[in-house]
Amino acid sequence: MKFLHAADLHLDTPFVGINDFSKKLQKKLQDSTYQAARNLFSTALKEQVDFVILAGDIFDDTDSSLKAQMFLRDEFEKLKQAGIAVYLIYGNHDYYRNNFAVVNFPENVHIFGQDVSTETLMSSDGVKVGITGFSYYQQHINQAVVKNYPSRGDFDYQIGILHAGVGDDNYAPFQINDLIQKGYDYWALGHIHKREVLCDSPAIVYPGDIQGRNQNETTPKGFYIVTVENQLTKLKFVKSSVYTWNKVELNVKNDSIDKLITKITDSLNQADTLLTLTINNAQNLSDDVIKTIKRNELQHHFANVDTPSILYKIILKFNDNPQLSQIDQKYWKQAQSQTLDLDKIKDLDSKLYAEGIIRDHINDRDFLKNITELVKNTINQKYTGE
């Protein structure tokens, strides 16, 4: 038996911060989630899998575009012609609601509803498979829905599909042991945009998203081909992403613009890569060089230069003044505990926090860390040399 497990296609992702790129490159970036999905479905056909599992957030928004729906219908039709079934759940981005889709998918596609249910199929090699799952019916689900999943049924192999985070109270929270106790053979997870195997036996697997969507989603993205032979589950990762996000740090002294251009050019050496460049010790640069960088003149320059990598963003990092760091550390810790408190940040504007996209951003595990680094960087820049 062989199946494909993918999640978080996020069709129609609105890539941000690309206005300085050429129109051609902007279009390629905006089409990258579609191309990654094409890579996914063509692999399913090439590998002749028995079925495909899509574990939520197929669309980037619950108001999915007609383009995205028609694209999926056409790809599903190709799978139908090859005798490949599709088992699909909706997640927090594309949660299920009445009249959700204006396009009907072909009959080889099973969409799980808001109540947990189980489907049965027979694989090409005679394995009786049970597949259990549910779709989100609202953006946030605080209940541990996995408790509603039945214990293992009368199947040769049972799969649970779940779009959720470990202990994440907003998204159908679960603990790894909750899944193990169900007795299933494989848990096809979605939601976390990071490839991760939480457990080998049973296999509890996040494939990550199929195309990185921002500078924090580094490394090649893709999905898993899962092969089951003699009750053994084997995973093979397949890359689907068109572009890979990467981060590079440069250390500078009193570098001129020409020297910086040479250093940056040397960093732009990986094909189809979107690079976020952090310039360390920016306090060593002259005011004129800093102004040039802040005016985005360096980025405009590289937007018109043919390099293997694409320069996405330049971050100036003003490092601590060693003469002051010892003195300031006590006061920084005191101010940090009083000011950089997540609950206080949420309370600054309750109307803004009520917006889903802002609430998700603030609740991201790296949000407070990023805010802290930005504050320290701003202070270091302001008081350099004083």
* CATH at 19: 3.60.21.10
Tell me: do 229 and 267 sit in the same domain.
no
Tell me: do 336 and 270 sit in the same domain.
yes
Is the model's pLDDT at 293 over the cut of 80? yes
pTM, two decimals, is 0.81
Identify the band that residue 386 occupies on the pLDDT scale cut at 50, 70 and 90: very low
Tell me: do 247 and 230 sit in the same domain.
no
In this predicted structure, what is the pLDDT of residue 360? Answer: 63
Mean pLDDT of 333-353: 63
Last residue of some domain: 196, 216, 237? 237
Last residue of some domain: 195, 213, 237? 237
Question: Can you say whether the dihedral through the CA atoms of 210, 244, 318, 16 is positive or negative?
Answer: negative
Domain range for 201 is 1-237
Mean pLDDT of 235-251: 93
Last residue of some domain: 202, 220, 237? 237
Q: Kindly provide the residue ranges of all beta strands, DSSP E only, lying in the chain, ordered along the sequence.
A: 2-6, 51-55, 85-89, 109-111, 117-122, 128-133, 157-163, 186-190, 196-199, 203-206, 222-229, 232-239, 244-251, 273-280, 309-316
Tell me: do 182 and 275 sit in the same domain.
no
Tell me: do 154 and 298 sit in the same domain.
no
What's the total number of domains in the chain?
A: 2
Tell me: do 223 and 321 sit in the same domain.
no
167 or 365: which carries more pLDDT confidence?
167
